[in-house]
Homo-oligomer: A and B are copies of this chain.
């Protein structure tokens, strides 16, 4: 079962739904009372000042005002000062819509999140989002949130964001091989960047954490601690990063001459519940398992919880290692050994690169940021008694 968005699960009683329908923005219900005459005192606050008025008061043309605002060197110092004084006096603010309409530039970037029920409250996505937002702010861009729900894509809404000039660029988070629509962007030549996921064969821009080296570090520490029965709880195999982890796990196990067939791995779908279920599978098949390598922290948490439920002590009986290093994991009991992914930095870097691409840079972008292991209390040396 997938943990996808389920519209029914969050529906409301009919009476409320009726009220809701009335609210839906219909093209022919302007909603706001307004006259064509425009500039009277309107519902939302103070009288609006336009560039025309500034020009009149300063006895120059609108073109001059525009040039003053854009620091055009052709404007004389005297005019600069004169116009700026009027601007301050009237409290004039340039209308961003008019600017964008003219400049063909919205300075808005969309973040496309997977339609998971808790996508926004997932610290993994949140950390990426933090990085993206902070850097976007510094670069003078706004961030718009979108959720890649089935009908969002079916109705080509992801393309409309560009076609209808909502945004200049787009970040895709949590995408995988099944999301064939990612090609739409590159086909149409719209600036898009995959964040912490990639498609080796697709030639799309991406910034990712280095999952392979992270996995290497996990395997190193587990093997050094003497573990021989190591199970892998991995996320969806349609994600390239998950396949990277699996490959490293398999390679290192074989290298060490240890058993690692399908029975030693289970799909935890990146969730706590999935992690718990996967642990059950593994424990049923291999009661002697001594270490669990989870593909993300949420699955690790679910697995730890289930281990305790089934009477195993962490780390005395079984060691657990996570992946991501989300903040809470330092405070669970026992605190979780995990691979720190520089998610915040992945976000900031992604933002820089997307903006570069929007500014006309054409080379392909593919960056991989270093990870490191964080040793905490959920791992221990394999007990002598085994």
- Stretch from A120-128, A235-243, A364-372 contacting the other chain: A120-128
Alpha-carbon gap, A122 to B355, bound state (A):
26
> Which residues from chain B contact A97 at a C-beta distance below 8 Å?
97, 100-101, 106, 165
Given contacts A23-B356, A126-B126, contact A272 B118 (CB under 8 A): no
Does any Cβ of B come within 8 Å of A200's Cβ? no
Q: Are B162 and A44 in contact (CB under 8 A)?
A: yes
> Which residues from chain B contact A333 at a C-beta distance below 8 Å?
304-305, 308, 332-333
Q: Are B118 and A30 in contact (CB under 8 A)?
A: no
Given contacts A70-B28, A104-B34, contact A119 B123 (CB under 8 A): no
Does any Cβ of B come within 8 Å of A32's Cβ? yes
> Which residues from chain B contact A43 at a C-beta distance below 8 Å?
189, 360
> Which residues from chain B contact A24 at a C-beta distance below 8 Å?
138-140
Q: Which of A6-50 contact B (CB under 8 A)?
A: 10, 12, 19-20, 23-25, 27-28, 30-34, 42-46, 48
Given contacts A31-B358, A34-B104, contact A96 B165 (CB under 8 A): yes
What's the least CB distance linking A159 to chain B, in Å?
9
Alpha-carbon gap, A314 to B166, bound state (A):
51
Alpha-carbon gap, A10 to B34, bound state (A):
45
Alpha-carbon gap, A21 to B4, bound state (A):
40
- Stretch from A52-60, A81-89, A204-212, A322-330 contacting the other chain: A322-330
Does any Cβ of B come within 8 Å of A285's Cβ? no
Alpha-carbon gap, A117 to B95, bound state (A):
31
What's the least CB distance linking A238 to chain B, in Å?
23
User: Could you tell me how many residues of chain A have their Cβ less than 8 Å away from some Cβ of chain B?
Assistant: 101
Among the listed B12, B129, B326, B359, which residue makes an inter-chain contact with A120, where contact means beta carbons less than 8 Å apart?
Answer: B129
Does any Cβ of B come within 8 Å of A69's Cβ? yes
Does any Cβ of B come within 8 Å of A133's Cβ? yes
Alpha-carbon gap, A44 to B190, bound state (A):
5
Indicate the member of A45, A103, A144 with the most B CB atoms within 10 Å. A45
Does any Cβ of B come within 8 Å of A172's Cβ? no
> Which residues from chain B contact A124 at a C-beta distance below 8 Å?
121
> Which residues from chain B contact A133 at a C-beta distance below 8 Å?
120, 145, 147
Does any Cβ of B come within 8 Å of A213's Cβ? no
Does any Cβ of B come within 8 Å of A352's Cβ? yes
Q: Can you offer 17 A-B residue contacts whose CB atoms are under 8 A?
A: A24-B139, A28-B71, A31-B358, A31-B359, A32-B359, A33-B360, A45-B162, A45-B163, A45-B188, A97-B100, A97-B165, A121-B127, A143-B145, A302-B331, A305-B333, A328-B328, A333-B333
**Given A33-B360, A121-B326, A305-B335, 7 other A-B contacts at CB below 8 A?**
A10-B348, A30-B105, A43-B189, A120-B129, A121-B327, A145-B145, A304-B331
A residues near B (Cβ < 8 Å) are: 10, 12, 19-20, 23-25, 27-28, 30-34, 42-46, 48, 69-72, 93-98, 100-101, 103-108, 117-127, 129-130, 133-134, 137-147, 149, 152, 160, 162-166, 168, 188-191, 272, 276, 298, 301-302, 304-305, 308, 326-328, 330-333, 335, 344, 348, 352, 355-356, 358-360
